[in-house]
Chain A
Amino acid sequence: MALSVSNAAAPDPALVALNRFGLGARPSDEPGKIAADARGYLKDELKRQDIALISADDPRNAGLLDSTAAIQASMAANAERKAARDAKATPATQPAADTADNPTHAKPVVPPVEADIYRDEAQARFDKALGAAPDFVERLVGFWSNHFCVSVAKAQIVRASAGAFEREAVRPFVLGRFADMLLAVERHPAMLFYLDNRQSIGPDSRAGKRRGRGLNENLAREILELHTLGVGSGYGQADVTSFAGMLTGWTMAGREGRLGEPGSFVFNANAHQPGEVTLLGKTYPAGGMGQAEAALNDIARHPATARHIATKLARHFLADDPPAAAVDRLAEVFAKTDGDLRALALALIDLPEAWSMPLAKLRSPFDYVVAVRRAIGPGAGNEPQRTLRWLRALGEPLWQPPGPNGFSDRTDNWASAEGLKTRLDIAWQAARQADDAANPNDMLDALVGASASAETREAIARAESKQQGLALLLMAPEFQRR
């Protein structure tokens, strides 16, 4: 064949800005105007200080708790639940299995504080994603939140603190320094709890000797494999074990408050593995908490980290298998700027591939659901439950990835038979909900603009109802792909 993909026309710059980099158009956006200076449109957002933060000044966010308060609420609820269970338990009955499907747990006596906090945090995140334009920064928040994921399925304490974790450890740094985000994430109670470091004890520490307990290498391994260097970058089992020892003592203060304010991060010197440690060929002198901090600082600057982050960013914004030149460029910027994430965001916008490669990725479940909401407006009532249910149906419940590697960032994971069928169900529900929606033909012009294909235009024009036309628009390739 003489034709090749490189001869294909470059995508509409408005769709690159709105879909590849953003969370999708709202009816008030004007693709035609955005196309005139799409790069500038994106870069303007990066100049705005604190753009990623969820504002506490907004009365809608007034009820959000910081992680310490959220964890304390969960601890108190947990203690009440335990007391209620103990009061009910009769010695003759079989020990109840602690699964969610056990009928004895069906009616909690104690109000589900954690579920309430989770719902409020979810609402705040959806509000933020539905709000500002163009929302490139909000896409970066989603990227980093998935990179440094925790899962609410781990424990009630994580359910209560996952939202605060994102607001405290991710959002403040998405246009800051990678090393700062790394440190904030790894010392956050939600992460220490999720990856089990809370209970990891140096075998030669005072606590280890007294209680005969020892290391849990989960956090150390995932920091090296997932958060920084990446798998196969040269570290070995000995490095994982060493690093796990360095991280001992990084924990959360318990309910009794012996080590500090309950639910807050503390360094427990009693549990810290003493002595100097060699990690990745470098020796770190004994030094309590500073030992692992120094190691994290070094790992954050490691060339393998730069390459790992560059590859993941390029995969997220360009293509499942991104071009090597783009990855090289991002890795170079990461290394040269010492992990300046604002510089990295600017470099992403300036990648020529971002404006020439076809919009071939599918929107991720979260981005699809948000794009649907942005298109049809916020739903009436029953929020955020409906949006949370959609995410669950698409296999990516909010803050609940299947493992510490987060949700997949590859199209073939989403373009499955079941995934497409579920998108159709969602498009239909959303279209039915938008009772007084505008004319779907006008919506197409507002959301996709001039580059909509003739077939899409015709399918929508011929729809048998407004609802059907709107559902077709929400299923159109121009709406699904980015």
Chain B
Amino acid sequence: MSLLCETPNPSRRTVLLTGGALFAWAYLPRFARAADRRDPRLIVVVLRGALDGLSTVGPFGDPDYAGLHGDIALSLSGHNAALPLDGFFALNPAMPAFARLFKAGQAAVVHAAATGYRDRSHFDGQDGLESGLPGPGNATTGWLNRALASLPAGDRIAKAGGLAVGPSTPLVIRGAAPVIGWAPQALPAPGDALAERVIDLYSHRDPVLAAALQRGLDADRLAMSDQLDTKTTKPKGGLDNAAGMRQSAQGAAKLMAADDGPRIAALAFDGWDTHVNEGGATGRLANLLGGLDGAFEEFEKGLGERWKGTAIVAITEFGRTVRINGTVGTDHGTGTVVLLAGGAIKGGRIIADWPGLRPAQLYEGRDLAPTSDVRAVLKGLLADQFGLSAAVLGDKVFPDSAAVKPMRGLVV
């Protein structure tokens, strides 16, 4: 397979148009096809803290990149050379699995992407990213859950519900549609008898707690059923370290590979707020990217046959400054990357309407200017994987976003 992505053209201004025009004709609602043997899955990985897209997928072909991103810029030469994806972009060398998938046509990158949020608060940015609402506020449901709730009742995807990985449920998958939760843990478990009695008490006195506990017990039974043994998966901390990311993907893959397992999952990885000594090809960010890469690899391994119908998307609330700051890190910015992987992804491509890095081209003189909308990517995935209509996506899943058109053709 060639390493080239769709257009080696350095201007990179045509890719999106081609993608959209080429694949519009192929669209048919998926659940309308009775004979369809496809079994699609969607996994959303939320990277909290704002990922530096320029150190993840570096535009080495941009003449201004190396100067601005300074000591942490990726480079094609030297000891830890970046992995070229095409003639313009290269991947952080901490991500060999993603590079392999990209080469095999099972991974893609959307660059210079951002949500509709333009301020630089993590917490509002994450709220918007996960809630899918047009502005910050007291969001209590996430777009992924609303997508799940929008599927026709009786659909096998809706019936299987969603999966939330980690000690608390990420906002993106909170909502009315049923979600089970699971996290790798190692506390001695009480017997079923106590659990049944507590459930019985809750069912009389506190139905909300009853439902939550029941889902927790169900998930635990499923995940712990055989080789995924509690001793070998003892977590080493929250999901802000490489081992934790890998372990959570391993467990989630096992739950999702089951015939009646959830088809939709959300994970949240912390720690991407690299203000100080961010590192480039090695160092703090590279360690985290290595964990994310490990998670992609575990999903590929654990899903087995199901991998071919799977799409994984990794998103973050916004990017980081193009220039490094006074402490060899980066401050809060705007445009960044969306990473896509999975057997269902039409990969081997970098989808970017590259804005350039000359001073006048930067957003507010400091950030990578966003030219793609993260919501368009997410809408495209939901449309292609599950057949959700543009109307449902623009109204219910991402309210008031009709102007943001789904990016079609991300899926094979």
Contacts and interface: CB of A to CB of B under 8 A. Distances in A.
A408 B171 CA distance: 12
A395 B201 contact: no
Interface in A74-132: 95, 97-101
Nearest to B186: A393
A49 B4 CA distance: 71
Given A99-B242, A231-B123, A196 B327 contact: yes
Contacts of A356: none
A417 B290 contact: no
B236 A100 contact: yes
A100 B284 CA distance: 12
Given A98-B284, A216-B327, A218-B331, 19 more contacts: A97-B286, A97-B290, A99-B241, A100-B236, A199-B326, A214-B326, A217-B331, A393-B185, A394-B167, A405-B123, A417-B212, A417-B214, A418-B185, A420-B213, A421-B217, A424-B216, A428-B190, A471-B198, A480-B206
A476 interface: yes
B165 to A, nearest CB: 9
Given A216-B327, A418-B183, A472-B197, A405 B168 contact: no
Contacts of B271: 153
Interface stretch (B16-24, B150-158, B174-182, B404-412): B174-182
Contact of B282 (A95, A414, A477): A95
Contacts of A480: 206, 209
Contact of B136 (A231, A403, A453): A231
Interface string A465-482: 000100110011100110
Contact of A100 (B49, B136, B237, B326): B237
16 contacts: A97-B287, A99-B241, A153-B237, A225-B121, A231-B119, A393-B185, A393-B187, A395-B166, A402-B48, A402-B270, A417-B181, A417-B216, A419-B167, A421-B217, A425-B188, A468-B193
Contact of A213 (B164, B188, B326): B326
A98 to B, nearest CB: 7
A468 B167 CA distance: 25
Interface in A402-454: 402-403, 405, 408, 412-422, 424-429, 453
A418 to B, nearest CB: 4
B82 to A, nearest CB: 16
B202 to A, nearest CB: 7
A221 B216 CA distance: 38
Nearest to B121: A231
A215 interface: yes
How big is the A interface, by class? 35 or more
B238 to A, nearest CB: 7
Given A214-B326, A397-B238, A420-B216, A425 B273 contact: no
Chain A CB count within 10 A is highest, among B48, B167, B270, B329, for: B167
Interface residues of B, number: 73
B164 A416 contact: yes
Nearest to A414: B168
A146 interface: no
Interface string B278-311: 0000111011001000000000000000000000
B123 A216 contact: no
Given A225-B121, A231-B136, A232-B124, A477 B213 contact: no
Interface in A188-244: 196, 199-201, 203, 208, 213-218, 221, 225-226, 231-232, 237
Contact of B209 (A389, A415, A418, A455): A415
A395 B237 contact: no
Contact of A418 (B49, B166, B204): B166
Nearest to A230: B121
A392 B187 CA distance: 11
Contacts of A199: 276, 326-327
Contacts of A418: 164, 166-169, 181-183, 185, 216, 219
A321 interface: yes
Interface stretch (A34-42, A283-291, A371-379, A456-464): A456-464
Given A97-B282, A393-B185, A405-B122, A477 B197 contact: no
Contacts of B270: 402-403
B236 A101 contact: yes
B395 to A, nearest CB: 24
A403 B273 contact: yes
Q: Which 5 A-B pairs have the closest CB atoms?
A: A395-B167, A421-B216, A417-B181, A214-B326, A428-B190
A286 B384 CA distance: 59
B12 interface: no
A424 B206 CA distance: 15
A400 B290 CA distance: 22
A476 B240 CA distance: 33
Interface string B189-215: 110011101101110111011001111
Nearest to A415: B212
B364 interface: yes
A394 B166 CA distance: 10
A218 B241 CA distance: 22
Contact of B213 (A196, A201, A424, A455): A424
B11 interface: no
B164 A417 contact: yes
A175 to B, nearest CB: 28
A221 B329 CA distance: 16
